[in-house]
Amino acid sequence: MRIKELLSSREYGSEVTVKGWVRTRRGNKNITFVALNDGSIIHNIQVVIDMSRFDEDLIKLITTGSCIAVTGKLTESPGKEQHVEIHADSIKLYGTADPEVYPLQKKGHTLEFLREIAHLRPRTNTFGAVLRIRHAMSFAVHKYFNDHGFFYLHTPIITGSDAEGAGEMFRVTILDPKNPPLLEDGSVNFAEDFFGRETNLTVSGQLEGELGALALSSIYTFGPTFRAENSNTPRHLAEFWMIEPEMAFYEIEDNMNLAEDFLKYLIRYALENCSADLEFLSGMYDKELIDRLNFVVNNQFERITYTRAVDILQQSAEKFEFPVSWGVDLQTEHERYLVERHFKKPVIVTDYPKEIKAFYMKLNDDGKTVRGMDVLFPKIGEIIGGSQREEELEKLEGRIKALKLPEKELGWYLDTRKFGTAPHSGFGLGFERLLLFVTGMANIRDVIPFPRFPKNADF
């Protein structure tokens, strides 16, 4: 049985078998206590070993990190820290963990150290909690969309499109890097590559997502995303997971409503289904975590235009390193001021100048701003970026020409506007950024099992 079930069981006297990894062992020559964990829940179950019934040499091998199976009687515990315990009748030792070299100790480790042993850190309380929450949030994403009539669309991971403009890309190739086939002008001849063209890992499933939305009405993607940016921050990964819903017949207001409802649903789901893990993380790292999650669930997000945001920033007494004026992109310090100091709640900023946003965003009637929206959260900044898309063929072509994007490569995308175009909207949610907020972790490398970032692809 899993430890999660046993800890809530009151069937005292029943014989049970439990399998897991040892967290601590303590005791004397008469009695030994083992705290056992199988990852089903953050709590351990206590195994009580009567030393007169076991070979001391076997018990000595049951050290922190070893793996055992215990069969015994489930018993009401006289101890204060737990209701139930198992009195061992037999123990099978699956695997030892030499205490001289096993890196995880009973005492706390820094997150930096645990990052260096990412292959073992799932066995810690912190990463057990984070990984269980990560699973719960993945499940909740699918449940939310399924319950709302969205279809899960698998957009390609290898893409020939380099027109998203969402950042540097990782090249996918089978050509010999030392001796690639060359054209007469000396450039690489990608016609000889596997796909017969230059290909990269996806930086966004949005453009393909739009194709799905303009057929199935509402779709979402949830898959790995790759950015080859040399970003060294606690909020960026080279490989991360992104959720991108795309909806036909949604205007920008519908898009905002969905984003707010979706985020609140996910956070509420965590509060209702991950309470033990959240309480652990709250106690260990961030005392205000649960209050902050409840606050976001129970309060309306502030919605302001970019123009109003600039007004607020200009009228504030705050001295910013980067001065604010209409037309410049908002800096991190500006976003943090709006969210953490001025409104003290999540903020959705809309209607940015077209010059600082992507080509596909719908142009407003003023001809100057586009219907983009960024959802800004306390502590982590931009958690969602999205927009209403430009559905008018001529305007979209105009933007592509103005930005000198490769129009030929976007022909398939423009066909959606040529044939049965429709107003539509969507957004991208960085899954790990959501997890940063929900878990209270400070570094994005600690909310993904095996982080990929510049100069590191270990494990």
For RNA, the binding residues in 378-397 under the rule CB under 7 A are 381-385
- Return the range that interacts with RNA (CB under 7 A); candidates 260-268, 272-280, 346-354, 429-437: 429-437
Residues 27, 156, 196, 406: which binds RNA (CB under 7 A)? 27
Amino acid identity of 55?
A: D
Strands 67-76 and 15-27: antiparallel
Residue of 5, 15, 81, 318 that binds RNA (CB under 7 A): 81
b/e per residue, 3-27, with b = 16+ CB within 10 A?
bbebbeeeeeeeebebbbbbbebee
Cβ-based nearer residue to RNA, 168 or 192:
168
Min separation Cβ 444 and RNA, Å: 6
Q: Contact with RNA (CB under 7 A): which of 121, 123, 134, 227? A: 227
Asked whether 223 and 154 are in contact (CB, 8 A), the reply is: yes
Which neighbouring-strand residues pair with 16? 72
Q: Is 214 in the site for RNA (CB under 7 A)?
A: no
Q: Residue 234 or residue 420: which is nearer to RNA going by CB?
A: 234
Q: Taking Cα atoms as reference points, which of 283, 263, 459, 265 lies closest to residue 378?
A: 263
In terms of CB distance, is 150 or 427 closer to RNA? 427
Contact of 318 with 336, CB cutoff 8 Å: no
Q: Which of residues 118-157 bind RNA (CB under 7 A)?
A: none
298 near RNA, judged by CB under 7 A:
no
Cα Rg of the chain (Å, integer): 27
Instruction: Give the separation between CA 299 and CA 312, rounded to whole angstroms.
Output: 21
87 binds RNA (CB under 7 A): yes
Complex with RNA: residue 132 or 334, whichever CB lies closer: 334
Q: By CB under 7 A, name the one of 52, 110, 315, 325 that touches RNA.
A: 110
How many H helices and E strands in the chain?
A: 13, 16
Using CB under 7 A as the binding criterion, the count of chain residues that bind RNA stands at 72
Binding residues among 313-352 for RNA as defined by CB under 7 A: 322, 329, 331-333, 336
Q: According to the binding rule CB under 7 A, does residue 196 interact with RNA?
A: no
Q: Which of 73, 109, 148, 268 binds RNA (CB under 7 A)?
A: 109
Q: Which span (21-29, 187-195, 248-256, 362-370) binds RNA, by CB under 7 A? A: 21-29
Residue 82 token pair = 């737990």
Q: What is the DSSP letter of 456?
A: B
Pairing of strands 67-76, 45-50: unpaired
List b or e across 116-140, with b for residues whose CB sees 16 or more CB atoms inside 10 angstroms. Answer: eebeebebbbbbbbbbbbbebbeeb
Q: Is 187 in the site for RNA (CB under 7 A)?
A: no
Position 242, amino acid: M
Range in contact with RNA (rule: CB under 7 A) among 8-16, 272-280, 410-418, 423-431: 423-431
Q: How far is the CB of 105 from RNA (least distance, A)?
A: 4
Q: In 249-337, at which residue ranges do the beta strands (DSSP E only) sit?
A: 302-305
Extended beta strands in 101-153, E state: 151-152
Contact between 105 and RNA per CB under 7 A:
yes
64, 125 in Cβ contact below 8 A? no
Q: Is 167 in the site for RNA (CB under 7 A)?
A: yes
Backbone angles phi and psi of 414, in degrees to 5: -70, -25
Q: Which stretch binds RNA (CB under 7 A): 302-310, 362-370, 396-404, 425-433?
A: 425-433
Q: Does 99 bind RNA (CB under 7 A)?
A: yes
Among 6, 18, 45, 48, binds RNA (CB under 7 A): 48
The span from the CA of 25 to the CA of 404, in Å, is 66
Shortest spacing between CB 181 and RNA, in angstroms: 29
Q: Contact between 208 and RNA (CB under 7 A)?
A: no
- The yes or no reply on residue 108 touching RNA (CB under 7 A) is yes
